Structure 1
Amino acid sequence: MSSSVLYGILGLLACQAAAQADVITDDSYFYGDSPPFYPSPNATVSSNWAAAYEKARAFVGQLTLEEKVNLTGGVRQSENGCSGSIAAIPRVNFPGLCLSDAGNGIRSVDYATSWASGWSVGASFNRELAHKRAVGIASEFRKKGSNIALGPVVGPLGRVAENGRNWEGFSNDPYLCGALAYETVQGSQSVGVITSVKHFVAYEQETYRNPVGNVSSVSSNLDDKTMHELYLWPFQDAVHAGTGNIMCSYNQINGSWACQNSWAMNNLLKTELGFQGFVVSDWGGQHSGVASANAGLDMVMPTGSTYWGDNLTLAVTNGSVTAARVDDMATRIIAAWYQMGQDSSDYPAPGSGIPYDVSAPHEKVIGWDKSYKDIVYQGALEGHVLVKNANNALPLQSPQLISLYGYSAKTPDSFYVGNGEWNEGDYSLGENATYTAANSVEEGTGIAVNGTIISGGGSGANMPMYISSPFEALTARAQEDYTGLYWDFESTDPEVDPTSDACIVDVNAFASEGWDRPNLHDDYTDSIILNVAAKCANTIVVFQNAGARLVDTFIDHPNVTALIFAHVPGQDSGKALVSLLYGDENFSGKMPYSIPKNESDYAGLDAPSLPEGEFAYFPQSNFSEGVYIDYRAFDAKNITPRYEFGFGLSYTTFAFSGLNVALNGSVSTASYPTGQIVEGGQEDLWDVVATVTASITNTGSVKGAEVAQLYVGIPGGPVKQLRGFEKPVLEVNGTASLTFPLTRRDLSSWDTVAQKWELQQGSYPLYVGSSSRDLPLTGTLTIS
């Protein structure tokens, strides 16, 4: 029996199972056992996509079955360096498609920019900046001839603190993550570049993300409420923004691989959320032919030849996959191409500016644009978060001597344009740690990169025009001010001149796709900090961090006066840091995740799940904590974090006043939405049910921006959840009005039996302030 016939039988059995499925009575129906959902729905066509679908259906109607199938699978080619390619169909003037890494800037090319990565954008809490950044990044993709940017990342969401890819996304909070994803999709696609929002869904660890030997991919086991209220939430925002593509993930979801999970793709994405675009597999994430086609996968990368290609053509001819399913795959792909205007004669040819080998002769195609220079710098700037500033250590006040220490202060020894990341030899520091990039990390004390980091590693890395290191930026400032500057980047116990006005220790916490971090701090780095602090009364610590970093081994040392989380700031790393250190710019970043005092505070969520016991060959990751991750968990367990979600200091102070709540009387407050399905779900989910207003005043002595945050207590859920943020820039004594619209979805919880968002009757506590634990304004919204 051929594999296609076998998978066809399995698909038919799954369809019968779906028809015979039990009535959903509670959340346990989903946990660990993904329900079947067939058939895969054809795109329903929203009004926004009507013209594109009319063109796409006419286009696909001209194609042979083989040509339709060729649209669904990648091809390997040597004429360009695209991460993935769909072949051209010359007879109908279709040029093909180029898919390129990544959501933080185009990778593996020359003449491109290293933008601030996702975590830095999350730390900015700045919708407008996220939008402008997306426009700038997408403009480089377009100039280089890329049709699809593989990003933004909204999964992993950050459930596992050691996850090697948390830095690629925006935040551990679904509301913040979704709001910034919305702006990123809108900004990118306004330039005509399709966003591939990834990784769908519940992809929360690198360890055993793919099968290894006899051990299968990890299964993320979660209930339906957790799925909707946490992990699906930011994808819903991205679909609502109109994304043309979603990438399915490597992991299994409740026992079924994400790229053949019919409940996730056919039901959640294409039915409930009304997704108009196409689903692409992560590279090598397909594990079946007929089963993945019937479950809703539309395109496979990097090649269609293993399970699809001729096998998919055969599956159609023998009835295992319907012709209508392949038509829908092709139509969704071509509709996204039309929707973004990529059929225009001025859209560059796929991969035309992405050389296969940058060391070989090739045409020079300039991606960067000087007009985005300020956005690149602002992204680096607003991603820095000041979390300690004792004795007004910062800003620096005309220092006569600065001493600079730490391995992250200098420019990396090398940067290889061919893969957009540091050479492997630069990944370690003496005995700091070693790692294997497959699925495990050897025992060690941590991972750090020898030189300032501008991004994490792997497919989410990006290309710099240059790298402004802290050392270079401080050198330029010292030259301008005629300040003494001493440095030592090698010693763990350096000599220190005790007359130094400030000793800056610049270190990092590196993370990368392909492996999870061994732990959340390392003795090597902490020893440098403590040894400097023992000799210098004003020790300022800076972390370029691509992962959460515990600090309690040194933070209470009396000589550690300041701590900055710089995150992953891109090529303007040093310039931004020095501007902040001297007070030329004010800190405005906030923590987009929480930092606890100890690993134990994570309650087991500090490390990835491993195969064990009866599941030695089938690793299981049980999301038994439900929606209680990060600040939700700390609130529920009454754990005081070292630095809470939303926290960040400034050189000025702010005061909040005048909380007011107004219910929108023209909007229905019935228990369930009744609107038709649009992109993102039922259309009345986006109705504004109530509006919260307040005022904020700059009560300090310098200009500054503050992130005002609204939290809501939804009955039966966490004590509070982020449901609004604004970031006004205020002059001294300046006041701004704050407005937080609350939609039906913002105030609803997921009803697993009704399979709808439920707006409960009753009282909703409201909190407004500067962090998840500093909320001076309180009020109540009553829905009846």
Structure 2
Amino acid sequence: MQSETGAVDIEELIAKLDLRAKVRLLTGADTWSLPAMPEIGLDRLVMSDGPIGVRGEQWTAADPSIALPSPTALAATWDLALVRRAGRLLAQEARRKGVHVLLAPTLNLHRSPLGGRHFECFSEDPYLTGEIGAAYVEGVQEGGVATTPKHFVANDFETERFTVSVKVSDKTLREVYLAPFERVVRAGAWGVMAAYNAVNGITMTEHRALQRDLLKGEWGFDGFVVSDWTAARSTEATAEGGLDVAMPGPSGPWGGKLEAAVREGRVPEEIVDDQVRRVLRLARRVGALKPPGAGTAGDAVDVSGTSPHDAALSGASPQEATLSAADAAGASLSPGAGTAGGVADVPGAGRTAIDGVALAREVAARSFTLLRNEGGLLPLEGIRSVALIGSAAGEARIMGGGSARVFPDRIVSPLDGLRAREGVEVRHARGTDPRIRLAPPAGPARVLFLDPEGEVLAEHPLAAAEVRRLGRLPADVDGERLAAVEIRLSHTPVAGGEHEFSVTGAGAYTLTVDGATVLDEVLVPDGGDPGAAFLSPPERRVAVALTEGVPVELSLRHRTGTVGGMVFVAFALGHAAPSPGDDALIAEAVRAAADADVAVVVASTTPEVESEGFDRTGLALPGRQDELIAKVSGANPRTIVVVNAGSPVEMPWLERVPAVLLTWFPGQEAGDALADVLFGDVEPGGRLPTTWPAAQADVPVLEVTPVEGEVAYDEGVFIGYRAWERAGREPAFWFGHGLGYTTWSYGTITATARTVSVAVTNTGRRPGREVVQFYLSPVERDPGRPARWLAGFDVVDAEPGQTVITTVTLPERAFQVWTGEGWRTVCGDYTVEAGRSVADRPLGAVVSV
């Protein structure tokens, strides 16, 4: 079964399989994997959520992962080489965890700032999204791990996402929403994930015109199409519509139903053969399909006790030592090898070790976007004292909520990062707490798995009082006997008085404090989203009087079991100590600010604002943070506001503070990266990948709520800065905006219809990095086309006084529009403009097409 070149012959394998075996390959064997078929040399194919880390098959802090900054932060770097490096790190993490397929990146667009997963998408611009997405895909797949760019297509909001239909024209689809997917297909993506929503009345998992005719036909996509989890809800329509894999399993709309449909002639067997062909091609690419006699993944040596740094030095990780690049036939994956941030790589393949912690810190700093810096307040120099203010300063908000969530084995908060700075006194004041849900109490906890009699089946440590299990139980737990999961921990109050405890989760719970039951209730999630129990579960609180310094034993028991051998558990115990109230906390923050050389306020959104499963209701910072910032800036004119959010927020205090730094969701190394940038060790490298409004009322495209089950994209191609320019409105900050710690001048520009070159000079006193952006604008304006659109960009570095010439190629598609007959080049004169943002374009040259 080997070809002359040594590769496994997929056609021979397909011929060996009967219909039942073929169909079995097309549905998950469980929540995260496709079944193994040892008789043809096929290992399990394991999938895992991204996009900022690789969770693996366990959604638990017991299996930690590197947590990179959010996708909006990645896009804010505008740095394709850096994004590729991030992709290679994710591939390294995937191999460490035995994962073959990373369920990322998200290529949906920032159509509205109210989109709940805005933070998980790259940009409002289809060209920037496509270029960043392609670099991400290339980086991951260079490591022999597949990607599944998602969610194909028009899944740009969360409300009614399972049933909503997006009404959108072919022109808008082609020029805007499909464009990033077309780009990553050209980059060689090995997978695509079909979305939950419908497009023009047809559910995406059944959309033959978009999946079979366009994606696989016109674009020549040779990878596999996997459903979003539970998105496949029919048998014949999904098979004929171009879907290849239905997840999760083993239940679903295919299996015996699809087999019967083929036998009865309702689905041609050629369709099943093509689906199997694509799955086997995927397996061959990621090293899970082996020639006869090559062994299986079980032959790999397990180095699960090896530290990442030791593994990097020794090259001991088996998955690194055996995996070649794309089409890595014969490779082995050994789940569990190493720990989070494992850096061993494949010396024989020419790849070097990647330090995950260092890269996470570098990406964060490069993504930080300096929006305002009046009087050159930043970088900080000669500072002896800092008032660090905000609840997110002490408890970092490093990622958005939902399936993108991972558990890093370390989180550096802003307070940690700044206190590590020698010679600077840092005083922290909470100021106000905007969180709606209570956080777990400090200190380690335990999770117990119990049988119906309350006997302990297994016990495991927890980093915090939270349990998340989706799909699989620990190996030492007998799922047939499981009746309850319980969190236990000891808590010593630092203050006496009335404490609040909370239960967050869906299902039946009993909370006890020192053996006394204080809550016994069944919690039911709101809304119709099937993922709500995981993504946005209900919370119940209870008040308990505690004595300072007297420890209490806490127990939170969740009555549960398994369904078909799989477990779905997500719950947490929260705690809040007695508080003097926001008025007193704000007053304390004001006093701290007045006594310090500089005040740094970390303002953040919360998990209830930005997450999968729901959209935002507004753009204001939650709680009383706007009031806090206003009062702190009144007490100290040297106030820096750090905006810790994945998507735009209103900033009514903007003109009152000299400096505003946007850190997005900065990943696990948040605090160290923040210290690097505030004190000038690293220049903030970010530029906005989306336009930031001054007020929600100004946003030209806002609505995400379906009307009678439909959202109409009536704005057509005019989203983001294109819509702002057409509306004649002024945002707070335009697409592409971002400041550094030096100054630049733009000298000369030369352009043809294919290339454009610009000379830029660093006119400041520090080395710097500039993102040179190129926009294309038709000289003869057409109301059906935007005033201008991004057509190229480049990141340049220069020493003080140095001039750098950058040249980019203008893509042919930049001059084209979609018509009923296909793509058409619009001939005529265009102005190619170069500058620092869509609103700051000092140079221009006219080209003719």
Band the TM-score falls in, shorter-chain normalisation: 0.7 to 0.9
The verdict on how the C-alpha distance between 1:601 and 1:50 changes in structure 2, with shifts beyond 3 A counting, is farther
The verdict on how the C-alpha distance between 1:486 and 1:72 changes in structure 2, with shifts beyond 3 A counting, is closer
| Map of 1:175 onto structure 2 | 127
Q: Does 1:131 align with 2:84?
A: yes
Q: Deviations over 1:207-266 (max 9, x none)?
A: 1012xxxxxx11111001110111001101110111111000011101111111111111
Q: Does 1:240 align with 2:304?
A: no
Unmatched tracts of structure 1, length 5 or more: 1-48, 77-82, 211-216, 356-361, 411-450, 664-689
Quote the offset at 1:762 in angstroms. Answer: 0.7
The verdict on how the C-alpha distance between 1:342 and 1:475 changes in structure 2, with shifts beyond 3 A counting, is same
Q: Deviations over 1:647-671 (max 9, x none)?
A: 00111011112111134xxxxxxxx
Quote the offset at 1:363 in angstroms. Answer: 5.7
2: distance between equivalents of 1:237 and 1:225? 17
Quote the offset at 1:193 in angstroms. Answer: 0.4
| Map of 2:69 onto structure 1 | 116
SS of residue matched to 1:766: strand
Q: Is the 8 A contact 1:102 1:150 kept in 2?
A: yes
2: distance between equivalents of 1:468 and 1:121? 19
Residues 132-531 of structure 1 aligned to structure 2 (within 5 Å)? 132-155=85-108, 157-210=109-162, 217-303=163-249, 305-343=251-289, 348=297, 365-370=338-343, 371-372=354-355, 373-410=357-394, 451-477=395-421, 480-483=422-425, 485-490=427-432, 491-493=585-587, 494-497=589-592, 498-510=594-606, 511-522=610-621, 524-531=624-631
| Map of 1:730 onto structure 2 | 798
Q: Is the 8 A contact 1:726 1:738 kept in 2?
A: yes
Q: Is the 8 A contact 2:685 2:740 kept in 1?
A: yes
2: distance between equivalents of 1:275 and 1:51? 23
Q: Is the 8 A contact 2:280 2:289 kept in 1?
A: no
The verdict on how the C-alpha distance between 1:704 and 1:235 changes in structure 2, with shifts beyond 3 A counting, is same
Q: Is the 8 A contact 1:162 1:608 kept in 2?
A: yes
SS of residue matched to 2:632: helix
SS of residue matched to 1:563: strand
The verdict on how the C-alpha distance between 1:525 and 1:487 changes in structure 2, with shifts beyond 3 A counting, is closer
Q: Is the 8 A contact 1:98 1:350 kept in 2?
A: no
1: distance between equivalents of 2:786 and 2:295? 50
SS of residue matched to 2:149: strand
Quote the offset at 1:546 in angstroms. Answer: 1.7
SS of residue matched to 1:608: coil
Return the letter of the residue paired with 1:454. Answer: I
Q: Is the 8 A contact 2:640 2:659 kept in 1?
A: yes
2: distance between equivalents of 1:544 and 1:375? 20
| Map of 1:442 onto structure 2 | none
2: distance between equivalents of 1:311 and 1:692? 56
Q: Does 1:739 align with 2:807?
A: yes
The verdict on how the C-alpha distance between 1:349 and 1:575 changes in structure 2, with shifts beyond 3 A counting, is farther
Quote the offset at 1:180 in angstroms. Answer: 0.9
Return the letter of the residue paired with 2:772. Answer: A
Q: Deviations over 1:565-616 (max 9, x none)?
A: 101111111111111111111122101100112212223x3342234xxx2x
Q: Does 1:103 align with 2:103?
A: no
1: distance between equivalents of 2:797 and 2:14? 51
The verdict on how the C-alpha distance between 1:188 and 1:766 changes in structure 2, with shifts beyond 3 A counting, is same
Return the letter of the residue paired with 1:501. Answer: D
The verdict on how the C-alpha distance between 1:484 and 1:96 changes in structure 2, with shifts beyond 3 A counting, is closer
The verdict on how the C-alpha distance between 1:50 and 1:219 changes in structure 2, with shifts beyond 3 A counting, is farther
| Map of 1:693 onto structure 2 | 757
SS of residue matched to 1:220: strand
SS of residue matched to 1:95: coil
Q: Is the 8 A contact 1:145 1:348 kept in 2?
A: no
Q: Does 1:706 align with 2:658?
A: no
Determine which of 648, 656, 659 is the counterpart of 1:562.
Answer: 659
The verdict on how the C-alpha distance between 1:349 and 1:85 changes in structure 2, with shifts beyond 3 A counting, is farther
| Map of 1:577 onto structure 2 | 674
The verdict on how the C-alpha distance between 1:519 and 1:381 changes in structure 2, with shifts beyond 3 A counting, is same
| Map of 1:543 onto structure 2 | 643
Return the letter of the residue paired with 1:629. Answer: I
Number of aligned residue pairs: 636
2: distance between equivalents of 1:52 and 1:759? 44
1: distance between equivalents of 2:302 and 2:679? 40
Quote the offset at 1:54 in angstroms. Answer: 7.3
Quote the offset at 1:555 in angstroms. Answer: 0.7
SS of residue matched to 2:132: helix
TM-score when normalising by structure 2:
0.72
Return the letter of the residue paired with 2:281. Answer: A
Q: Deviations over 1:720-773 (max 9, x none)?
A: 11111111111101111111101222321112x21x221121111111001110
Q: Is the 8 A contact 1:145 1:350 kept in 2?
A: no
| Map of 1:644 onto structure 2 | 734
Quote the offset at 1:465 in angstroms. Answer: 2.8
Q: Deviations over 1:28-65 (max 9, x none)?
A: xxxxxxxxxxxxxxxxxxxxx99899722222221111
More strand by share: 2
Return the letter of the residue paired with 1:151. Answer: A
| Map of 1:761 onto structure 2 | 827
Return the letter of the residue paired with 2:694. Answer: K
Determine which of 755, 758, 779 is the counterpart of 2:845.
Answer: 779
RMSD over aligned Cα atoms = 2.3
Return the letter of the residue paired with 1:153. Answer: T
SS of residue matched to 1:119: helix
Return the letter of the residue paired with 1:734. Answer: Q
Q: Is the 8 A contact 1:142 1:348 kept in 2?
A: no
1: distance between equivalents of 2:646 and 2:151? 18
Identify which range, 380-389 or 711-720, moves more after superposition.
Answer: 711-720
Return the letter of the residue paired with 1:587. Answer: P
Quote the offset at 1:176 in angstroms. Answer: 0.7
The verdict on how the C-alpha distance between 1:67 and 1:694 changes in structure 2, with shifts beyond 3 A counting, is same
Quote the offset at 1:349 in angstroms. Answer: 6.0
The verdict on how the C-alpha distance between 1:328 and 1:350 changes in structure 2, with shifts beyond 3 A counting, is farther
SS of residue matched to 2:388: strand
SS of residue matched to 2:232: coil
SS of residue matched to 2:133: helix
Q: Does 1:596 align with 2:660?
A: no
SS of residue matched to 1:409: helix
2: distance between equivalents of 1:625 and 1:512? 25
The verdict on how the C-alpha distance between 1:586 and 1:349 changes in structure 2, with shifts beyond 3 A counting, is farther
2: distance between equivalents of 1:306 and 1:251? 18
Q: Is the 8 A contact 1:99 1:148 kept in 2?
A: yes
SS of residue matched to 2:174: helix
Q: Is the 8 A contact 1:158 1:171 kept in 2?
A: yes
Quote the offset at 1:519 in angstroms. Answer: 0.9
SS of residue matched to 1:200: coil
Q: Is the 8 A contact 1:403 1:502 kept in 2?
A: yes
The verdict on how the C-alpha distance between 1:367 and 1:331 changes in structure 2, with shifts beyond 3 A counting, is farther
